[in-house]
Structure 1
Amino acid sequence: MKPRKLDAIDIKILTELQADGRITNQALSERVGLSARPCLERVRRLEREGIIVRYQAQVDVRRIQSCVFVLAQISLEKQGRARTSAFERRLREVPEVIECFEVSGPYDYIAKLVCRDLETYQELTDSWIDDAEMGVARVVSNVVLRPIRDFGTYPVFEEEA
Protein backbone atom coordinates (compact mmCIF):
# COMPACT_ATOMS: atom_id res chain seq x y z
CA MET A 1 0.00 0.00 0.00
CA LYS A 2 1.45 3.32 -1.05
CA PRO A 3 1.37 5.91 1.76
CA ARG A 4 -0.86 8.90 1.17
CA LYS A 5 0.90 12.23 1.01
CA LEU A 6 -0.11 14.56 3.82
CA ASP A 7 0.30 18.28 3.94
CA ALA A 8 1.53 20.23 6.97
CA ILE A 9 -1.98 20.81 8.31
CA ASP A 10 -2.90 17.12 8.11
CA ILE A 11 0.30 16.33 10.01
CA LYS A 12 -0.55 18.92 12.69
CA ILE A 13 -4.07 17.45 13.00
CA LEU A 14 -2.73 13.91 13.43
CA THR A 15 -0.14 15.05 15.96
CA GLU A 16 -2.71 16.94 18.03
CA LEU A 17 -5.27 14.13 17.94
CA GLN A 18 -2.67 11.57 19.05
CA ALA A 19 -1.79 13.78 22.01
CA ASP A 20 -5.44 14.42 22.92
CA GLY A 21 -8.18 12.45 21.16
CA ARG A 22 -10.84 14.30 23.16
CA ILE A 23 -9.85 17.74 21.97
CA THR A 24 -12.80 19.75 20.68
CA ASN A 25 -12.90 20.59 17.02
CA GLN A 26 -12.76 24.30 17.94
CA ALA A 27 -9.56 23.86 19.99
CA LEU A 28 -8.06 21.61 17.30
CA SER A 29 -8.80 24.13 14.57
CA GLU A 30 -7.11 26.89 16.60
CA ARG A 31 -4.01 24.75 17.18
CA VAL A 32 -3.62 23.84 13.52
CA GLY A 33 -4.50 27.26 12.12
CA LEU A 34 -7.78 26.50 10.35
CA SER A 35 -11.34 27.60 10.89
CA ALA A 36 -13.59 25.00 12.53
CA ARG A 37 -15.46 23.72 9.44
CA PRO A 38 -12.43 22.99 7.21
CA CYS A 39 -10.70 21.38 10.18
CA LEU A 40 -13.65 19.07 10.79
CA GLU A 41 -13.79 18.20 7.09
CA ARG A 42 -10.10 17.24 7.16
CA VAL A 43 -10.57 15.07 10.27
CA ARG A 44 -13.53 13.31 8.66
CA ARG A 45 -11.52 12.73 5.46
CA LEU A 46 -8.62 11.27 7.49
CA GLU A 47 -11.14 8.97 9.21
CA ARG A 48 -12.79 7.94 5.91
CA GLU A 49 -9.41 7.16 4.36
CA GLY A 50 -8.50 4.92 7.29
CA ILE A 51 -5.60 7.10 8.45
CA ILE A 52 -7.37 7.81 11.73
CA VAL A 53 -8.40 4.32 12.74
CA ARG A 54 -10.07 4.85 16.13
CA TYR A 55 -10.15 6.90 19.30
CA GLN A 56 -9.53 5.23 22.63
CA ALA A 57 -8.62 5.95 26.22
CA GLN A 58 -5.11 5.06 27.30
CA VAL A 59 -5.44 3.35 30.71
CA ASP A 60 -2.64 2.87 33.23
CA VAL A 61 -3.65 -0.65 34.18
CA ARG A 62 -1.03 -0.76 36.96
CA ARG A 63 -3.11 1.76 38.93
CA ILE A 64 -6.15 -0.53 39.06
CA GLN A 65 -4.73 -4.05 39.34
CA SER A 66 -1.60 -6.06 39.91
CA CYS A 67 -0.17 -7.38 36.70
CA VAL A 68 3.03 -8.19 34.88
CA PHE A 69 4.08 -7.11 31.43
CA VAL A 70 6.10 -9.58 29.41
CA LEU A 71 7.78 -9.28 26.03
CA ALA A 72 7.70 -12.70 24.40
CA GLN A 73 9.92 -13.66 21.49
CA ILE A 74 8.17 -16.50 19.69
CA SER A 75 9.57 -19.01 17.21
CA LEU A 76 7.35 -21.29 15.15
CA GLU A 77 8.24 -24.88 14.32
CA LYS A 78 7.54 -24.41 10.61
CA GLN A 79 7.03 -21.48 8.28
CA GLY A 80 4.33 -21.15 5.65
CA ARG A 81 1.10 -19.25 5.16
CA ALA A 82 -1.19 -21.89 6.64
CA ARG A 83 0.93 -22.20 9.79
CA THR A 84 1.41 -18.47 10.35
CA SER A 85 -2.27 -17.75 9.62
CA ALA A 86 -3.40 -20.27 12.22
CA PHE A 87 -0.95 -18.91 14.78
CA GLU A 88 -1.91 -15.28 14.13
CA ARG A 89 -5.64 -16.05 14.25
CA ARG A 90 -5.27 -17.76 17.63
CA LEU A 91 -3.08 -14.97 19.04
CA ARG A 92 -5.66 -12.32 18.06
CA GLU A 93 -8.15 -14.15 20.31
CA VAL A 94 -5.95 -13.93 23.44
CA PRO A 95 -6.87 -10.80 25.44
CA GLU A 96 -3.55 -10.84 27.29
CA VAL A 97 -1.72 -10.19 24.00
CA ILE A 98 -1.89 -6.42 23.67
CA GLU A 99 0.56 -6.07 20.79
CA CYS A 100 2.20 -8.54 18.44
CA PHE A 101 4.57 -8.05 15.53
CA GLU A 102 5.93 -10.40 12.90
CA VAL A 103 9.66 -9.67 12.85
CA SER A 104 12.84 -10.55 11.03
CA GLY A 105 15.76 -12.14 12.83
CA PRO A 106 16.04 -15.20 15.06
CA TYR A 107 12.37 -15.08 16.17
CA ASP A 108 9.21 -15.01 14.11
CA TYR A 109 7.10 -12.79 16.40
CA ILE A 110 7.49 -10.45 19.34
CA ALA A 111 4.40 -10.05 21.51
CA LYS A 112 3.67 -7.74 24.42
CA LEU A 113 1.45 -9.37 27.01
CA VAL A 114 -0.14 -8.26 30.25
CA CYS A 115 -1.05 -11.04 32.69
CA ARG A 116 -2.31 -11.20 36.24
CA ASP A 117 0.96 -12.80 37.38
CA LEU A 118 3.89 -14.86 36.11
CA GLU A 119 2.06 -18.12 36.79
CA THR A 120 -0.76 -17.05 34.47
CA TYR A 121 1.79 -16.05 31.83
CA GLN A 122 3.55 -19.40 32.10
CA GLU A 123 0.27 -21.32 31.81
CA LEU A 124 -0.63 -19.30 28.72
CA THR A 125 2.68 -19.82 26.93
CA ASP A 126 2.80 -23.49 27.93
CA SER A 127 -0.64 -23.91 26.35
CA TRP A 128 0.71 -22.39 23.12
CA ILE A 129 3.65 -24.78 23.05
CA ASP A 130 1.40 -27.77 23.84
CA ASP A 131 -1.09 -26.84 21.08
CA ALA A 132 0.11 -28.54 17.88
CA GLU A 133 -2.17 -26.36 15.74
CA MET A 134 -0.35 -23.21 16.88
CA GLY A 135 3.04 -24.67 15.99
CA VAL A 136 5.02 -22.77 18.62
CA ALA A 137 8.53 -24.17 19.01
CA ARG A 138 9.92 -21.74 21.57
CA VAL A 139 9.03 -18.69 23.64
CA VAL A 140 11.76 -16.51 25.15
CA SER A 141 10.38 -14.23 27.84
CA ASN A 142 11.49 -10.84 29.06
CA VAL A 143 9.62 -9.60 32.12
CA VAL A 144 9.22 -5.82 32.12
CA LEU A 145 10.65 -4.44 35.36
CA ARG A 146 9.45 -0.89 34.78
CA PRO A 147 8.39 1.14 31.78
CA ILE A 148 10.78 3.84 30.63
CA ARG A 149 8.56 5.10 27.84
CA ASP A 150 5.23 3.43 27.35
CA PHE A 151 3.24 3.92 24.16
CA GLY A 152 3.40 7.49 23.03
CA THR A 153 2.46 8.89 19.69
CA TYR A 154 3.64 7.99 16.22
CA PRO A 155 5.84 10.60 14.60
CA VAL A 156 4.25 11.83 11.39
CA PHE A 157 6.83 13.09 8.92
CA GLU A 158 6.33 15.67 6.25
CA GLU A 159 7.13 14.50 2.72
CA GLU A 160 10.43 15.72 1.37
CA ALA A 161 10.28 17.56 -1.94
Structure 2
Amino acid sequence: MDRIDRRLLQLLQRQGRSSAQALSEHVNLTPRATLNRIRRLEEERVIEGYRAVINRDALGEHISVFAEIALKDQRQSTAQRFEQRMLSTPEVVACYLVSGRYDYLVRLCCRDITHYRHLTNAWLDDPTLGIDKIVTSTELQTVKEFAGFPIGWGEDREG
Protein backbone atom coordinates (compact mmCIF):
# COMPACT_ATOMS: atom_id res chain seq x y z
CA MET A 1 0.00 0.00 0.00
CA ASP A 2 1.39 3.36 -0.94
CA ARG A 3 0.54 6.93 0.07
CA ILE A 4 -2.29 7.19 -2.49
CA ASP A 5 -3.92 3.94 -1.29
CA ARG A 6 -3.80 5.17 2.30
CA ARG A 7 -5.32 8.51 1.31
CA LEU A 8 -8.12 6.72 -0.54
CA LEU A 9 -8.81 4.60 2.54
CA GLN A 10 -8.95 7.73 4.73
CA LEU A 11 -11.42 9.36 2.35
CA LEU A 12 -13.59 6.25 1.99
CA GLN A 13 -13.79 5.75 5.76
CA ARG A 14 -15.21 9.26 6.08
CA GLN A 15 -17.52 9.09 3.07
CA GLY A 16 -17.93 5.65 1.51
CA ARG A 17 -20.32 6.92 -1.15
CA SER A 18 -17.82 9.27 -2.77
CA SER A 19 -17.56 8.87 -6.51
CA ALA A 20 -14.33 7.93 -8.22
CA GLN A 21 -14.40 11.41 -9.77
CA ALA A 22 -14.57 13.13 -6.37
CA LEU A 23 -11.91 10.85 -4.89
CA SER A 24 -9.62 11.33 -7.89
CA GLU A 25 -9.50 15.07 -7.23
CA HIS A 26 -8.13 14.42 -3.73
CA VAL A 27 -5.42 11.97 -4.83
CA ASN A 28 -4.42 13.60 -8.12
CA LEU A 29 -5.22 10.61 -10.33
CA THR A 30 -7.69 10.11 -13.13
CA PRO A 31 -11.10 8.74 -12.13
CA ARG A 32 -10.28 5.47 -13.97
CA ALA A 33 -6.95 5.03 -12.12
CA THR A 34 -8.69 5.86 -8.83
CA LEU A 35 -11.44 3.32 -9.49
CA ASN A 36 -8.85 0.68 -10.41
CA ARG A 37 -7.08 1.25 -7.09
CA ILE A 38 -10.34 0.99 -5.16
CA ARG A 39 -11.25 -2.25 -6.94
CA ARG A 40 -7.79 -3.67 -6.16
CA LEU A 41 -8.17 -2.72 -2.49
CA GLU A 42 -11.56 -4.46 -2.47
CA GLU A 43 -10.18 -7.58 -4.19
CA GLU A 44 -7.29 -7.73 -1.70
CA ARG A 45 -9.87 -7.42 1.12
CA VAL A 46 -8.23 -4.26 2.44
CA ILE A 47 -11.71 -2.78 1.97
CA GLU A 48 -14.11 -5.37 3.36
CA GLY A 49 -17.36 -3.58 2.63
CA TYR A 50 -19.42 -0.42 2.93
CA ARG A 51 -22.21 0.41 5.33
CA ALA A 52 -24.51 3.22 6.34
CA VAL A 53 -23.96 4.99 9.65
CA ILE A 54 -27.38 5.33 11.24
CA ASN A 55 -28.29 8.16 13.58
CA ARG A 56 -28.95 6.31 16.83
CA ASP A 57 -31.69 8.77 17.83
CA ALA A 58 -33.67 7.54 14.81
CA LEU A 59 -33.88 4.11 16.49
CA GLY A 60 -36.05 5.50 19.27
CA GLU A 61 -35.53 4.88 22.96
CA HIS A 62 -32.75 2.40 23.68
CA ILE A 63 -29.75 1.89 25.90
CA SER A 64 -26.18 1.05 25.04
CA VAL A 65 -24.44 -1.21 27.53
CA PHE A 66 -20.85 -2.38 27.83
CA ALA A 67 -20.52 -5.80 29.46
CA GLU A 68 -17.23 -7.21 30.69
CA ILE A 69 -17.63 -10.97 30.62
CA ALA A 70 -15.44 -13.56 32.34
CA LEU A 71 -15.70 -17.21 31.35
CA LYS A 72 -15.42 -20.04 33.87
CA ASP A 73 -12.65 -21.70 31.90
CA GLN A 74 -10.39 -20.96 28.97
CA ARG A 75 -11.06 -24.08 26.90
CA GLN A 76 -11.36 -23.48 23.17
CA SER A 77 -14.75 -25.20 23.04
CA THR A 78 -16.14 -22.84 25.71
CA ALA A 79 -14.84 -19.77 23.90
CA GLN A 80 -16.23 -21.00 20.57
CA ARG A 81 -19.72 -21.56 22.01
CA PHE A 82 -19.67 -18.15 23.66
CA GLU A 83 -18.44 -16.39 20.51
CA GLN A 84 -21.03 -18.17 18.35
CA ARG A 85 -23.80 -16.91 20.67
CA MET A 86 -22.45 -13.37 20.47
CA LEU A 87 -22.33 -13.56 16.68
CA SER A 88 -25.96 -14.74 16.52
CA THR A 89 -27.39 -12.21 19.01
CA PRO A 90 -28.68 -9.09 17.20
CA GLU A 91 -28.39 -6.93 20.31
CA VAL A 92 -24.63 -7.55 20.38
CA VAL A 93 -23.23 -4.78 18.20
CA ALA A 94 -19.56 -5.46 19.04
CA CYS A 95 -17.62 -8.18 20.84
CA TYR A 96 -13.91 -8.19 21.60
CA LEU A 97 -11.64 -10.83 23.12
CA VAL A 98 -9.50 -8.84 25.55
CA SER A 99 -6.68 -9.36 28.01
CA GLY A 100 -7.02 -8.51 31.67
CA ARG A 101 -9.50 -9.45 34.38
CA TYR A 102 -12.25 -10.27 31.87
CA ASP A 103 -12.22 -12.32 28.72
CA TYR A 104 -14.61 -10.33 26.53
CA LEU A 105 -15.87 -6.79 26.18
CA VAL A 106 -19.33 -6.80 24.61
CA ARG A 107 -21.32 -3.77 23.48
CA LEU A 108 -25.07 -4.23 23.37
CA CYS A 109 -27.97 -2.11 22.16
CA CYS A 110 -31.22 -2.95 23.98
CA ARG A 111 -34.71 -1.43 24.20
CA ASP A 112 -34.29 -0.81 27.91
CA ILE A 113 -32.58 -2.17 31.01
CA THR A 114 -35.23 -4.89 31.41
CA HIS A 115 -34.46 -6.15 27.91
CA TYR A 116 -30.74 -6.18 28.77
CA ARG A 117 -31.36 -7.99 32.07
CA HIS A 118 -33.47 -10.71 30.40
CA LEU A 119 -30.85 -11.23 27.73
CA THR A 120 -27.92 -11.53 30.12
CA ASN A 121 -29.89 -13.66 32.60
CA ALA A 122 -30.55 -16.10 29.76
CA TRP A 123 -26.81 -16.18 29.04
CA LEU A 124 -25.97 -16.81 32.69
CA ASP A 125 -28.62 -19.56 32.91
CA ASP A 126 -27.15 -21.36 29.88
CA PRO A 127 -24.39 -23.62 31.25
CA THR A 128 -23.01 -24.30 27.75
CA LEU A 129 -21.83 -20.66 27.49
CA GLY A 130 -19.57 -21.03 30.52
CA ILE A 131 -20.08 -17.47 31.78
CA ASP A 132 -18.72 -16.85 35.27
CA LYS A 133 -19.43 -13.14 35.64
CA ILE A 134 -20.86 -10.15 33.79
CA VAL A 135 -19.97 -6.63 34.90
CA THR A 136 -22.05 -3.92 33.26
CA SER A 137 -21.46 -0.25 32.47
CA THR A 138 -24.29 1.71 30.89
CA GLU A 139 -23.36 4.33 28.35
CA LEU A 140 -24.48 7.78 29.44
CA GLN A 141 -23.18 9.72 26.45
CA THR A 142 -21.11 8.96 23.38
CA VAL A 143 -18.12 11.28 23.36
CA LYS A 144 -16.48 9.78 20.26
CA GLU A 145 -17.90 6.95 18.19
CA PHE A 146 -15.78 4.67 16.04
CA ALA A 147 -15.33 6.36 12.68
CA GLY A 148 -12.55 4.32 11.14
CA PHE A 149 -9.03 3.23 11.81
CA PRO A 150 -6.06 5.62 11.77
CA ILE A 151 -4.28 5.27 8.46
CA GLY A 152 -0.82 6.38 7.53
CA TRP A 153 1.37 4.95 10.26
CA GLY A 154 4.88 4.24 9.18
CA GLU A 155 6.46 4.69 5.81
CA ASP A 156 5.35 3.69 2.34
CA ARG A 157 5.61 -0.04 1.89
CA GLU A 158 5.21 -0.43 -1.82
CA GLY A 159 5.59 -3.67 -3.66
Q: Shorter-chain TM-score: which interval? A: over 0.9
Gaps of 5+ in 1: 1-5
**Residues 71 and 111 in structure 1, CA contact (< 8 A), matched pair in contact too:** yes
Gaps of 5+ in 2: none
Find the aligned partners of 1:139 and 1:120 in 2 and give their Cα distance: 15
Task: Tell me whether 1:88 sits opposite 2:83 in the alignment.
Answer: yes
Find the aligned partners of 1:159 and 1:50 in 2 and give their Cα distance: 20
Q: 2:50 aligns with which of 55, 58, 73?
A: 55
Q: 1:146 aligns with which of 141, 145, 156?
A: 141
Displacement of 1:40 = 0.5
Displacement of 1:16 = 0.3
Q: 2:115 aligns with which of 113, 120, 129?
A: 120
Find the aligned partners of 2:27 and 2:96 in 1 and give their Cα distance: 33
**TM-score between both structures, scaled by the size of structure 1:** 0.94
Displacement of 1:13 = 0.3
Indicate how the Cα distance of structure 1 residues 65 and 108 shifts in structure 2: closer, same or farther if over 3 A, else same. same
Task: Tell me whether 1:100 sits opposite 2:74 in the alignment.
Answer: no
What is the identity percentage for the equivalent residue pairs of Structure 1 and Structure 2? Answer: 38
Runs of at least 4 residues off by over 6 Å: none
State the number of aligned residues.
156
Task: Give matches, 1:1-161, under 5 Å.
Answer: 6-160=1-155
Deviations 1:68-106 (A, max 9, x none): 000100000111111101110111000000001000000
CA-atom RMSD in angstroms: 1.0
Displacement of 1:53 = 0.5
Corresponding letter in the other structure for 1:23: S
